[in-house]
Amino acid sequence: MAIETLQTLSYSTGAKGWPSFYTYYPDYMIGMNSFFYSFKNGNLYRHNTNETRNNYYGVQGVSTIESVFNPEPTLTIKLFKTMSLESNASWTVTQLNTDLSSGSMLSTYFEQKEGEWFSYIRSNDGAVDWNLRSANGLATSNDITGPATAKVINFLTPIGSILSIGDSIYAKTNPPEKVGEITDLTTNSITVDASAVGAYLPQNGDFILSYKDSVAESQGARGYYMQFTLTNGSTSAVELFSVGSDIMKSYP
């Protein structure tokens, strides 16, 4: 059964629409003498009279804005590379979706440049998409030794220079299952910490794959459109004037 969340809507006579939704839900509200009043549980409140933002009836909330980038929505698959915020503070991107991918960005990812907050669009932490360049097939394992905390996987051929310590290792078991992260490597072998609960322990003859960190190696978000949700839990006044993105045509 779906759980309904009660909200308060505001109507703008200039926009002739309902631009905002508020998480507070009063028993009664009225405008009087240029002030806005509401009643909740028998108590009277006058709004916009202190500097604590996002706080209603003693409950602290967050500001949330949802919007979408939608240029040429059905004509061209785009690559959304960045996000910029014209604001006096950085925001957290709690949700970022296209019709092909998803992601999110912490407020700490944003850097202030020329008066705006700027960040490259990141994939979700732990997300795996085998169609991206972050995924690479290595070779079939020839010999596997050592305990789960230091599982050594040997190959008959050199594994090349594409691997780095910290990359995730998977074994192709249809679908691939995660073994762990690389802790050491040589020309023909890798050492993997496979001690995590639920980790797959590879067997001789398994085909081994690697995957780069999904956040650090993110190439942006692909799709016809990009929908995003921004949140800010500051108790001080925060202004957001515009949101932008560097967008280019995606070439397969």
117: enclosing H helix or E strand = strand 116-120
pLDDT top residue among 189 and 49: 189
Distance CA 159, CA 139 (A): 7
* pLDDT per position as a tens digit, 180-213: 999 999 999 999 999 999 999 999 999 999 998 8
- pLDDT above 90 for 160: no
Q: Return the sign of the alpha-carbon dihedral for residues 121, 122, 128, 130.
A: positive
Which of 107, 50, 121 is CA-nearest to residue 79? 121
Note whether 41 and 23 are within 8 A (CB): no
Task: State what percent of residues in the chain have pLDDT above 90.
Answer: 53
Angle among Cα 132, 135, 141 to the nearest 5 degrees reads: 155
* pLDDT per position as a tens digit, 12-22: 888 888 888 88
Mean pLDDT of 124-143: 84
Query: Residue 106 corresponds to which tokens in the numbers above?
Result: 């912490």
pLDDT at 186: 94
Distance of CA 147 to the CA centre of its chain: 35
Rounded to whole angstroms, what are the CA distances from 60 to 24, 57, 88, 152?
A: 10, 9, 21, 50
What average pLDDT does the structure give for the chain?
89
pLDDT at 156: 93
Q: For domain 135-211, is the CATH number 2.50.20?
A: no
Note whether 111 and 117 are within 8 A (CB): yes
Query: Residue 171 corresponds to which tokens in the numbers above?
Result: 């074994």
- pLDDT above 60 for 3: no
Measured from the Cβ of residue 152, the count of other Cβ atoms closer than 10 Å reads 15
Which of 163, 181, 161, 171 is CA-nearest to residue 140? 171
Distance CA 7, CA 20 (A): 10
Tokens 């490597």 correspond to what residue? 185
Mean pLDDT of 133-153: 92
Angle among Cα 137, 129, 228 to the nearest 5 degrees reads: 155
Distance CA 81, CA 126 (A): 19
Distance of CA 118 to the CA centre of its chain: 15
pLDDT at 87: 95
- pLDDT above 80 for 218: no
* pLDDT per position as a tens digit, 21-43: 888 889 999 989 889 999 999 99
Listed by start position, the domains of the chain span 8-61, 67-126+218-249, 135-211
According to DSSP, residue 123 is labeled B
Angle among Cα 105, 111, 55 to the nearest 5 degrees reads: 65
pLDDT at 189: 95
* Most confident residue range from 83-92, 103-112, 133-142: 83-92
Name, in order, each residue with C-beta under 8 angstroms of 3's C-beta and a sequence gap of 6 or more: none
- pLDDT above 70 for 1: no
* pLDDT per position as a tens digit, 59-86: 888 999 999 998 887 778 898 999 999 9
